[in-house]
């Protein structure tokens, strides 16, 4: 797929949503629906000083996402529960190159299911399967040395299986992901506060505190709890944060 081909689709595409640093569009490639994520500009993630007093290098979310996808490709990771990239390329603009990531299209995410009416029809077996697929996705990332660092219902997407028609987990949005062989110490307070492990939140309140893969496991616990109780993670987490003095 050339950038010109995708750009033509992008110009007339429907915007599915976006945030401060990227927008996602519905495009088409080889008669298949795809998601086109366009980073508006290099959004920098400024890491606080490490425990040794040295400043961590500045990194952009687009670099982290591109690096993660490239690492998964090099390590031949073929997990069906991880969102698959189709192509990554640059789009020239007047204010600099914008990175575009083309992935398979997912029709919903866990957040929309939890707040919608459809969730009440999910049986315990359905919920169990969602949790199992999510755990397998994160397990695969950790086994190849990648920490997601922004696990939340919004980033857990679903695509219908062609054979069974059942929803299949597709974990995506690797803009905050980090690789274990990265020389920088993990002290950046990145991610979504309502799903962060306490040691990650400490970076905002008390300064740099190192953390590791267990922070992802903590976020998974919050998500599983939300699936079982169908509650707003923010409400539950607000009470817990209060106990830490945040």
Beta bridge partners of 33: 28
Q: pLDDT (tens digit, 9 = 90+) per residue, 41-94?
A: 654 444 444 444 344 444 567 777 888 888 888 888 889 999 988 888 877 765
* 104 has a pLDDT exceeding 50: yes
Looking at 1.10.510.10, 2.120.10.30, 1.20.120.1200, 1.20.810.10, the CATH number of the domain 3-243 comes to 1.10.510.10
pLDDT of residue 209: 78
Q: pLDDT (tens digit, 9 = 90+) per residue, 111-148?
A: 999 888 888 888 999 999 999 999 999 999 999 999 99
166 phi and psi angles, rounded to 5 deg:
-80, 155
Residue 216 a catalytic site member: no
Single out the catalytic residue among 64, 150, 173, 216. 150
Domain coordinates in residue numbering, the chain: 3-243
pTM above 0.95?
Answer: no
């Amino acid at each position: 797929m050339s950038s010109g081909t995708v750009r033509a689709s992008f110009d007339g595409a429907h915007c599915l949503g976006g945030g401060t640093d990227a927008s996602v569009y519905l495009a088409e490639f080889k008669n298949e629906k795809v998601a086109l994520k366009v980073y508006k500009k290099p959004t920098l993630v400024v890491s606080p000083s490490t425990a040794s007093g040295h400043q961590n290098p500045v990194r952009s979310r687009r670099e982290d996402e591109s690096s993660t996808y490239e690492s998964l490709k090099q390590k031949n990771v073929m997990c069906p529960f991880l969102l698959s990239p189709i192509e990554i390329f640059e789009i020239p603009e007047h204010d600099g190159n914008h990175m575009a990531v083309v992935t398979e299209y997912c029709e919903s995410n866990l957040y929309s299911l939890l707040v919608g009416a459809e969730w009440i029809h999910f049986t315990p077996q359905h919920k169990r399967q969602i949790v199992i697929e999510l755990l397998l996705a994160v397990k695969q990332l950790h086994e190849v040395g990648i920490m997601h660092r922004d696990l939340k219902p919004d980033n857990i997407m679903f695509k219908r299986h062609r054979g069974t028609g059942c929803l299949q987990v597709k974990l995506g949005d690797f803009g905050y992901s980090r690789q274990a062989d990265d020389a920088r110490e993990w002290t950046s307070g990145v991610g979504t506060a309502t799903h962060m492990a306490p040691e990650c939140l400490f970076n905002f309140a008390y300064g740099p505190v190192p953390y590791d893969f267990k922070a992802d496991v903590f976020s998974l616990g919050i998500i599983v709890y939300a699936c079982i109780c169908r509650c707003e993670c923010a409400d539950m987490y607000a009470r817990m944060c209060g106990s830490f003095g945040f």
